[in-house]
Amino acid sequence: MADVTAELIFEVLKSVQARLAQVDGKIDELKQEMQASRTSQNGIRQEITSVFQEISGIHATLVRHEGRLDRIEHRLELDDMPAQ
């Protein structure tokens, strides 16, 4: 069995330390990518909310116009006419 010297242990520890530094770098990259993904997701969520609000506004306008049209048809007595 080979003699285990302090120098041999030191060399092994240096390589372990270098590999840990690489792992730390990769973890930092993953954290940045995750943050970018979250930021993108929040932007998409805000856009969807904006579209939903716009559609809700259009729906409310259509409901108001439908009510007005119903009242106009009723006043002109168009709602009781049979279809030809």
Residue 15 pLDDT more than 70? yes
Tell me what the mean pLDDT of segment 16-42 comes to. 98
Residue 80 pLDDT more than 90? no
Residue 1 pLDDT more than 60? no
* pLDDT at residue number 82: 61
* pLDDT at residue number 3: 77
Q: How long is the chain? A: 84
Give this prediction's pTM: 0.62
Q: Which of 53, 51, 79 is nearest to 66 (CA)?
A: 79
> What's 13-77 look like in SS3?
HHHHHHHHHHHHHHHHHHHHHHHHHHHHHHHHHHHHHHHHHHHHHHHHHHHHHHHHHHHHHHHCC
